[in-house]
Structure 1
Amino acid sequence: MTNRHVKAGNRVSTVLARQLGGQLLAFREAVGLNQSQAAMVLSAHTAKVAKMERGWVPFRDPDIVALCKLYGVEDEEVVEGLLGLAKLDRERRRTRGWWKDLDPGNLREYIAMEDVALKVRLWQLSVIPGLFQTADYIRAMTVPGISAEQIDQIEQLVDVRRRRQARLHGDAPLRVHAVIWEAALRQLVGGPEVMMRQLAHVRELAELPHIQIQVLPFRVGGYPAVGGPFNILSFAEEGAVDVVHMDGLKSTAWVEGLEESAAYTDLFGRLCAVTLSPHSSMQLIESIGKEMSE
């Protein structure tokens, strides 16, 4: 699925709103009602329901409650989950977070989502996850890909990563469960000294109660999720629908459907089943670091 963060006049279709609209659409279709019938209970035009289901407008709580009642959605936890998504979306639309100053595009959209997420599960193959990267690692990883005229962009990237990493600390830190392929830990980005400090930083983060890090070792051989890295962002407690973000060389993708996001959650679970335990993962990272010092 391609990135669909688009604008129409003053309206913006956001990932969270599309997520909420998609769930309401699924509920409506499950009971065999059309948009006109849904619009009647809201005392609105059919166009309003269409815009809601496509994520073009912010959601009002009374509208969500009325539609859930019409669709026979009686589970209070489900309704509260929808109301929570609507609240997050409204807050995102009116906030002036630091990421607003970034150039429009995939990075700004993802960071805005990450900033309101409660939890992120991530799978990374070739590099240390951005939330865990040290400044020296970022610089060493970035330098080969830019020209002399773009050198100032390195420090901008370092600052962006630093601000993102602030979510790992504070009163309500972002919960992170990361699975990292062993190759990312052995790649000498910046040389042995930079990597030794980077690996030490990863071990320090793993000591935090809200961060879980596991390593997929080479010896596993074949493994699930060979298609590429992805992040699963959660905006509510267990049982709520998540969204999945994947970044390619020249494109980004958001997976927002109920079945699609559930498939990635299942894939992440199967991936975790073949990784090392968190304790054994830290032992391997420490061992790799010692090898680099020799």
Structure 2
Amino acid sequence: MEKRNGSSIRRRILGRRLRELRELAGYTLESAAPALDASVSRLSRIETGQQKADVHLVKSMLDLFDAGGDHWTELLALAREAGQRGWYRAYGLGDNSYVGYETEATQVLEYALGFVPGLLQVPDYSRALYDASPMRRTAAEREREVEVRTIRQRRLHSEDDPLRLAAILDDAALRNPVGGRETHCAQLAHLHTAAELPTVTLQVLPAGQGAHPALASGFMVLRFGDLGEPDMAYAEHALGATLLEKEPEVTLARLKFDQLRTLALAPVESRELIRRVAGEL
């Protein structure tokens, strides 16, 4: 199982903790920098998670800020984790990619408007979506992306590092035969099975809702649980994707998701609808 490390989330947490220790010790960036033989800009980038901090510098900072004991052990371990390469780097993805953030998350809230969420897709369904995308891919690139998606899905089955998924799926996505009839049937069967996982809560937003809070596009909210990092929102659209981190924007995303939950069928009813749609094929 791929470990939760290497993304910018770990750097952000480390930077925030180091900033808190610096301020508690009474140092400004300007007074700390010469004592650490570092530039003010470098320390600032470390504190905001934009730059990695090597273990030796972190040790010097802990010494300067007189932070021993638990702080010493915890932050050195965090610095080492933040310096490791995330598993996704081998696939050409960076720490600031969506996958980099999801790797650190403990829960994903997702509303999927036109297609099944990536964490619940079967490989042939993913292939059909990639083939239909305006972004040109070689066969090898497509297979690499399918493999990344498969690796991400493993956390739904993990006991050591589970990822919880609360997904709301638009009714139209159930009926859209992405990849043809055989793939469509396999995808619906997989959805019905995945909905029974203890890590997955799946609801279907039935047709005929009229105007509702998320007609424009699907979106996701990532939550980081034990890491203590603020939630972030992510929205994919026809021209790309947008990462949202400002609290008002993330709060709005959570509010929209909660509103959709009240409009969607309950999980048991949603599984029954999936079963009925599959039976009509």
TM-score range (shorter-chain normalised) is: 0.7 to 0.9
Aligned AA (1:223): H
Task: Measure, in 1, the Cα distance between the counterparts of 2:15 and 2:243.
Answer: 15
User: 1:233/1:149 Cα in 2 relative to 1: closer, same or farther (>3 Å)?
Assistant: closer
Aligned AA (2:138): Q
- 1:55 corresponds to which residue? 49
Residues 124 and 179, structure 1, Cα contact 8 Å, conserved in 2: yes
Alignment of 1:96-245 (within 5 A): 96-97=86-87, 99-104=88-93, 109-145=97-133, 150-171=138-159, 172-237=161-226, 241-245=230-234
**Pair 1:291 & 2:280 matched:** yes
Residues 119 and 174, structure 1, Cα contact 8 Å, conserved in 2: yes
Give % identity.
29
- After superposition, give the CA deviation of every residue in 1:208-266 in whole Å (9 maximum; x if it has no partner): 11110011111222111233222211112598521112223443322122333222222
User: 1:147/1:245 Cα in 2 relative to 1: closer, same or farther (>3 Å)?
Assistant: closer
Task: Measure, in 2, the Cα distance between the counterparts of 1:55 and 1:148.
Answer: 33
Residues 39 and 49, structure 1, Cα contact 8 Å, conserved in 2: no
User: 1:57/1:279 Cα in 2 relative to 1: closer, same or farther (>3 Å)?
Assistant: same
User: 1:151/1:207 Cα in 2 relative to 1: closer, same or farther (>3 Å)?
Assistant: same
Aligned residue pairs total: 258
Residues 246 and 254, structure 1, Cα contact 8 Å, conserved in 2: yes
Q: Which moved more, 1:176-185 or 1:267-276?
A: 267-276
- 1:9 corresponds to which residue? none
Alignment gaps of 5+ in structure 2: 1-5, 21-25, 66-70
Task: Measure, in 1, the Cα distance between the counterparts of 2:59 and 2:192.
Answer: 43
Shift of 1:130: 0.8
User: 1:277/1:103 Cα in 2 relative to 1: closer, same or farther (>3 Å)?
Assistant: same
* Other structure's SS at 1:219 match: coil
Choose which of 254, 270, 277 in structure 2 pairs with 1:265: 254
Shift of 1:62: 11
* Other structure's SS at 2:102 match: helix
Alignment gaps of 5+ in structure 1: 1-11, 28-34, 68-79
Residues 115 and 167, structure 1, Cα contact 8 Å, conserved in 2: no
Residues 234 and 242, structure 2, Cα contact 8 Å, conserved in 1: yes
- After superposition, give the CA deviation of every residue in 1:148-197 in whole Å (9 maximum; x if it has no partner): 98233332232222111111112232111011111111101122222121
Aligned AA (2:111): W
Using the size of structure 2 for normalisation, the TM-score is: 0.74
